[in-house]
Structure 1
Amino acid sequence: MVESVTSPLVIDTSGEDIQGEIVRIREQGRATLVELPGGVQAWSITDAALLEKLLVDSRVSKDAGQHWPAFVAGQIPPDWPLYLWVAAPNMFTAYGADHRRLRKLVAPAFTARRTEAMRGQVERITNDLLDALAATPAGEIVDLRERFAYPLPIQVISELMGVPESLGPGLRTCVDGIFDTTLTPEQSQANYMEMYRILGELVALRREQPGDDMTSLLISHRDEDEDTQLTEEELVGTLLLVISAGHETTVNLLDQAITALLTRPEVLARLRDGSVKWPELVEETLRFESPVAHLPLRFAVTDIEIDGIRIAQGEAILAGYAGAGRDPRRHGATADEFDPTRDNQSHMAFGYGAHHCLGAPLARLEALVSLPALFERFPAMTLAAPVSELGTVPSFISNGHQHLPVRLGE
């Protein structure tokens, strides 16, 4: 565990005020000691320039098994609410050569060519969801997070991974649990075990009935290609990563973009007259409300000193992507203003450096197909509740609303 004379700021696991908490973290410094569930301490980095340097530094690792003394010593139990974030064996938690090996196996599914080839699939799923929404009785309130923002990316990633419909509801519940940082240790461990049970069922199914999907491809690497050295644990861990990360961030991107437009009619009007482009809207949403607010965890392989900041060997690092997106050192006095026409829309919503998200092009494609289609189909759509009543998902990691109630209009 991190030891310091500085009193750590205790992270609110409910995520009720993510941006307000980031302001409080930033006020204490570019690197601020925070306390996570279970009393685990970490350095929260919300300064964009410092975070960029750390994320490309070879002295920073994501491998808890090698570089987190508390984990190595058995002080981090399997029922710790963030256990899967540091313990699942996949490219997310790998370091060095292991990370490059595992990433190489997944990368072919997310090339520019493969991503563009999925455009028709995204359009089909989008149109099906819009047709279902159009059948809503006039005046009835619908939850767009539940009826649009959530099902679109989960259907896309399920088809990519070869997940049968029968496993979909269970996987959704488990993925929600992974991001829910308010779970008790008992609930967290139960969720962890259920997730692995479902993924084991998926692997068994695709071994027996292989298809043209990524799960079948990974199984073939595991079973046939000795050069990849993909273990069974890494196979399941990789499925866990791709399925979870493959939809949660996009759900929040769509949710936050829709909310931004319904609360800023002047921006929507500029999209319609062409003075603001949809890609600008998407990038500003990613900057303004990063779908992942804080990403656990990284570890100092050795003592690190950067820009007057010292992180000791073995100490944990929490990447504050939402903080970096609104860093006034990077974005100036207007950092907290939503402006799709700003000159600098830089963000780290999809990570940075070696661990930059492979699925970022697919998430952007889903947003750029679905958002214009939604607002074209329902031009009179309005929010059915004040923003203050939308609630937040119970997480300091995932940055989205609990509900997104709207009236679709005539």
Structure 2
Amino acid sequence: MVLPDGVVAWAVTHHATLERVLTDPRFAKNPSYWRAWKNKSVTADWVMPWIGVDNMFTADGADHLRLRRLVSQAFTARRVEQLRGRIAQIVADLLEQMADLDGRRVDLKRALALPLPLTVISELFGVPVGDRAPLQQLCAAVFDQSLAPQETMAAYQGLQQAIAQLTALKRAQPGDDMTSALITIRDGSDQLTEAELHWTLILMIGAGYETTVNLITSAVRALLTSPDQLALVMSGSYEWQAVVEETLRWAAPIANLPFRFTREDVDLDGVIIPAGQAVLMCYGAAGRDGAQHGPHADQFDITRAPAGHLAFSHGPHFCLGAPLARMEAATALAMLFERFPNLALATPEDQLKLIPSVVGNGVASLPVTCKPQHAIGRNPKGNLVT
């Protein structure tokens, strides 16, 4: 297939095939295997943030294991679990602001889906409050294929500068955050190089909020256009986690991920992909593969029998942030619909505009009307109560 700016790639769209590719060492992450890249015939600036980096995203084999081992020491399950109460507090504060609108139209993406994960990931990595909005805008530009080449390159360079400033700050003023931890983390005599540190932070911060924004907005959109599904979860027949998993399948937050590269000629389901070719991982298409998910795979249905999805990838590159994204989304959805059981779309679904991205999968905005049922407060111990 031909992607923006003439970039040519082979698309893997079937679940079973994609699952195999994600664990097949003949498909490398390192762009040095890409013939067009080596020949300098790739001129599309939008691919740079996906291949012109030095972190786990473009590493294979022992290099990938080394980087993942180092990063995993800082991004532990215990650290993520400790965020549960803080996530609920942030959601409660954002819903309180929405309640002040009392039935008026509001963009749920801007009111909840974006500020929640942006605040969480910023606090987790120690990003100063004043730097968060500019950093978010730079990260968003990475996913925006409607930008002019010079705008893309400016954002790409600005992102590197912002992260360099963050690491300089944390060296001077270390804190209880993941940036400080990554600066000092070691495995024997091994630690992240400066380039690896910067690109790891870009990967973790950017991926840490953008995908969750799409996950939350897609889930709300699905529920508001499927009242029978909303009724099932509101009645307690199904858990909110079922909504999260079905959304991940039905509308993978990352629709298409650039790239894997063939080390050699590969026979994939009877199709020969020559050596040195770029391969696009089509998670959105795989999530709606009827061979994996049944004849009604295009429908949002939390009652379907789980058949597994690949929204967080598979194999060695499985997303480290998956537990955090799941926690944020489930918490936000549960508290949102408890506070606003009469939440409704404020515009017809067919008028919602998608974000201009080959990679990201979500809406540019999600206008809703919301009238609170009751207030959320805190008891003397600081716990949320309704």
TM-score normalised by L of structure 1: 0.88
- Percentage of identical aligned residues: 48
**What is the letter of the counterpart of residue 175 of structure 2?**
G
Q: 1:304 aligns with which of 238, 241, 266?
A: 266
CA RMSD in angstroms, aligned pairs only: 1.4
Distance (whole Å) between structure 2 residues aligned to residue 357 and residue 255 of structure 1: 20
Q: Which residue is equivalent to 1:48?
A: 15
Partner of 1:406: 368
Given the two structures, how large is their TM-score scaled by the length of structure 2? 0.93
Contact 1:287 1:345 (C-alpha < 8 Å) held by counterparts? no
Q: CA deviation at 1:345?
A: 4.2
1:232 corresponds to which of 183, 194, 211? 194
Matches within 5 A, 1:111-126: 111-126=76-91
Deviations 1:374-401 (A, max 9, x none): 0001111111001112211111211111
Deviation readout 1:118-153 (Å, 9 max, x if unpaired): 1011111111111111111x3321100001000000
Letter in 1 for 2:167: V
In structure 1, the residue matched to 2:378 is none
CA contact (8 A) 2:23 2:315 kept: yes
Compute the displacement of 1:76 (Å): 3.0
1:201 aligns with 2:165: yes
Note the C-alpha offset of 1:249. Answer: 0.7
SS in 1 for 2:260: strand
Q: 1:68 aligns with which of 28, 31, 34?
A: 34
Residue type at the aligned position of 2:285: G
Aligned counterparts of 2:254 and 2:284: Cα–Cα separation in 1:
7
Aligned partners of 1:274, 1:220: CA distance in 2, in Å? 45
Give, as a single letter, the amino acid of the residue that structure 2 aligns with 1:405: P
Q: 1:226 to 1:183 in 2, by over 3 A?
A: farther
- Equivalent pairs counted in the alignment come to 372
Separation in 2, partners of 1:205, 1:308? 53
Describe the superposition over 1:55-103 as per-residue Cα deviations: whole angstroms up to 9, x where unpaired: 1001111111x311222233334x6211110111110111111111111
SS where residue 35 of structure 1 aligns?
A: coil
Q: CA deviation at 1:215?
A: 0.6
CA distance in 2, matches of 1:225, 1:278: 38
Distance 2:47 2:157 in 1: 14
Contact 1:90 1:234 in 2 (8 A): yes
Q: Note if 1:38 corresponds to 2:29.
A: no
**2:160 corresponds to 1:160:** no
What is the distance in 1 between the residues matched to 2:345 and 2:59? 42
SS of 2:276 mapped into structure 1: coil
> 2:109·2:213 contact (CA, 8 Å) conserved in 1?
yes
Distance 1:226 1:343 in 2: 45
Residue in 1 that maps onto 2:216:
254
2:254 to 261, 273, 292: 292
CA distance in 2, matches of 1:43, 1:363: 29
CA distance in 1, matches of 2:162, 2:75: 24
Cα distance between partner residues in 1 of 2:122 and 2:37 = 32
In 2: Cα distance, 1:378 partner to 1:128 partner? 14
Q: Which amino acid aligns with 2:9?
A: A
Relative to structure 1, is the Cα distance of residues 227 and 305 closer, same or farther in structure 2, using a 3 angstrom cutoff?
farther
Query: Once the 2 structures are TM-superposed, how far is the Cα of residue 225 of structure 1 from its aligned partner?
Result: 6.7
- Alignment gaps of 5+ in structure 1: 1-33
Q: How does 1:178-217 map to 2 (within 5 A)?
A: 178-217=142-181
1:84 aligns with 2:49: yes
Amino acid at match of 2:77: A
Q: Quote the offset at 1:409 in angstroms.
A: 2.2
Map of 2:232 onto structure 1: 270
Offset of residue 295 of structure 1: 0.4
Equivalent residue in structure 1 for 2:317, among 329, 346, 355: 355
Shift, 1:229, TM fit: 4.4
The whole-number CA distance in structure 2 between the counterparts of 1:71 and 1:309 is: 23
User: Which amino acid in 2 is paired with 1:69?
Assistant: R
